[in-house]
């Protein structure tokens, strides 16, 4: 019921705007009411017709919506208002900008919109000068210039893209250099670890030979010294083997092939049980016959390290139990958990435990390289590994495999 008078009011008001704008234009201007209505008042861009003092004579609907919608208190909206009141400039600064804009046919004004808590938005306008026969003065015709703003934005985007491309080329160059350095370091670590084993084997052999031949004539103190040297040589040999294994996990080519996860776990179980009595631990494996794409040697190294760690760090006051189970997540990811009842570790160390040389149980011999090797094997295959513990009842290691297929 109330919308019809309002709609008629709007229609009549803009019809009056067309007539008023026609009266303000030069007498010889080839512009009729339809052209003015379509090109100015109905334009999707904000348009203003200003007198020579910078006051708004006529504006279109877009301008009113953006800067000052008509209200009951101000039914004429922007008409008669100085343009400077819509900006962050003074009247003098606005007029100076208008004069310079008329000379260049374009200008930028810091317009204050009626949306977004009166946000200031730099706005480009095209500027044209008209002479009004009715007012006997020059008029300013302003049309919001979205094309220039879009062109400027596109130019800036192209500049950023060129800059980003240069940065990308530089980063790629650095990556190539870093990769070459990494390969050289991996090769050096592998070769150094391999070469160190020869003199260590010689030292261990000579110590054993020395004790065999001259042990009967040596005092007890000398035998103690020999034991210290032998243990040091064995520890050095263990560390060198761990370095060699870690270097192999980093530098060995990942020639992935279908591997039955259940078969590898059973092989690792047999290797562990060969050196221990059945009463020392209970290892349970609940894993169906599924195929994973992996490098067989690295996968075996990974599982041997994890199960071997569970045995190595068993609790002295309770029988060790290791449960290996494979779970399928709703998204199709497979989760292999290795849970033990061993000594566990401090929960705050759940991430640091995978760093090289990180030893959480100093009372147990070790180099701190085993879990770092496991993390490296997972990284190279695209798997993930995590660890959790409450520090008392054991530890759980979790491997996430993105894709597993039933074994044929």
79-96: pLDDT as tens digits? 788 999 889 899 999 999
State how far Cα 109 lies from the chain centre.
38
The pTM of this model reads 0.46
Tokens of 392: 């008392």
Work out the mean pLDDT of the chain and round it to a whole number. 78
Whether domain 253-406 has CATH 3.30.565.10: the reply is: yes
d(CA 223, CA 2) in angstroms, rounded, equals 111
Q: How confident is the model at residue 273 (pLDDT cuts 50, 70, 90)?
A: confident
Statement: residue 46 has pLDDT above 70: yes
- Give the pLDDT of residue 1: 39
7-21: pLDDT as tens digits? 444 445 556 666 766
| CB count in 10 Å sphere of residue 224 | 11
Q: How confident is the model at residue 42 (pLDDT cuts 50, 70, 90)?
A: low
Q: Strand pairing partners for 294?
A: 257
Statement: residue 271 has pLDDT above 50: yes
* Dihedral pair phi/psi, residue 26, rounded to 5°: -55, 150
d(CA 367, CA 345) in angstroms, rounded, equals 16
Q: Among 54-58, 68-72, 101-105, 302-306, which is the least confidently predicted range?
A: 68-72
Statement: residue 156 has pLDDT above 50: yes
| CB count in 10 Å sphere of residue 136 | 8
d(CA 84, CA 96) in angstroms, rounded, equals 11
Taking a C-beta distance cutoff of 8 angstroms, is the pair 326, 398 a contact?
A: no
Q: Which CATH number fits domain 3-144: 3.30.1600.10, 3.40.50.1820, 3.30.450.20, 3.50.50.60?
A: 3.30.450.20
- Give the pLDDT of residue 73: 58
Statement: residue 269 has pLDDT above 80: yes
- Give the pLDDT of residue 225: 81
Tokens 């409450």: give the residue: 390
- Give the pLDDT of residue 324: 92
Which of 1-10, 116-125, 222-231 has the largest mean confidence?
Answer: 222-231
Asked whether this chain's domains 3-144 and 149-251 adopt the same fold, the reply is: no
Domain locations along the chain: 3-144, 149-251, 253-406
373-384: pLDDT as tens digits? 888 888 888 899
State how far Cα 63 lies from the chain centre.
42
- Give the pLDDT of residue 70: 58
DSSP state of 281: E
d(CA 83, CA 105) in angstroms, rounded, equals 18
Q: How many CA atoms does the CB half-sphere of 136 hold within 13 Å?
A: 0
193-214: pLDDT as tens digits? 666 667 777 887 888 888 888 8
Mean pLDDT to the nearest integer, 255-278? 84
CATH top-level class for 149-251?
A: mainly alpha
* Dihedral pair phi/psi, residue 107, rounded to 5°: -160, 170
- Give the pLDDT of residue 198: 73
Number of H helices, E strands in the chain: 9, 13
């Amino acid at each position: 019921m109330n919308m019809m008078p309002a709609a008629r009011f709007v229609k009549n008001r803009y019809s009056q705007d067309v007539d008023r704008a026609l009266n303000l234009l030069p007498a010889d201007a080839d512009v009729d009411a339809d052209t003015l209505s379509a090109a100015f008042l109905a334009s999707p861009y904000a348009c203003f017709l200003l007198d020579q003092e910078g006051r708004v004579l006529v504006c279109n609907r877009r301008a009113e919506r953006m800067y000052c919608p008509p209200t009951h208190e101000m039914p004429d909206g922007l008409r008669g208002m100085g343009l400077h009141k819509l900006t962050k400039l003074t009247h003098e600064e606005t007029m100076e900008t208008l004069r310079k804009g008329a000379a260049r046919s374009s200008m930028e004004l810091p317009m204050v919109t009626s949306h977004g808590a009166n946000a200031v938005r730099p706005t480009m306008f095209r500027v044209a000068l008209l002479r009004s026969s009715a007012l006997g003065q020059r008029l300013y015709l302003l049309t919001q210039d979205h094309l220039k703003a879009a062109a400027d934005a596109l130019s800036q985007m192209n500049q950023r893209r060129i800059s980003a491309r240069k940065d990308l080329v530089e980063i790629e160059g650095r990556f190539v250099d870093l990769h070459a350095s990494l390969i050289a370091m991996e090769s050096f670590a592998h070769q150094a670890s391999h070469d160190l084993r020869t003199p260590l084997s010689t030292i261990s052999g000579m110590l054993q030979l020395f004790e065999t031949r001259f042990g009967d004539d040596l005092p007890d103190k000398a035998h103690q010294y020999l034991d210290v040297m032998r243990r040091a040589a064995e520890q050095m040999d263990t560390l060198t083997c761990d370095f060699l294994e870690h270097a192999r996990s980093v530098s060995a080519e990942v020639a992935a092939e279908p591997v039955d996860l259940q078969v590898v776990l059973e092989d690792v179980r047999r290797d562990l049980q060969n050196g221990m009595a059945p009463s020392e631990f209970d290892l349970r494996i609940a894993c169906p016959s599924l195929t994973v794409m992996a490098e067989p040697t690295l996968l075996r190294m990974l599982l041997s390290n994890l199960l071997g760690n569970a045995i190595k760090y068993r609790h002295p006051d309770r029988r060790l139990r290791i449960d290996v189970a494979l779970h399928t997540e709703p998204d199709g990811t497979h989760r292999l958990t290795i849970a033990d009842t061993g000594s566990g570790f401090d929960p705050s160390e759940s991430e640091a435990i995978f760093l090289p040389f990180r030893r959480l149980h100093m009372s147990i011999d070790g180099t701190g390289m085993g879990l770092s090797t496991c993390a490296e094997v997972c990284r190279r295959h695209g798997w993930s590994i995590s660890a959790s513990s409450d520090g008392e009842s054991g530890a759980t290691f979790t491997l996430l495999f993105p894709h597993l297929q039933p074994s044929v």
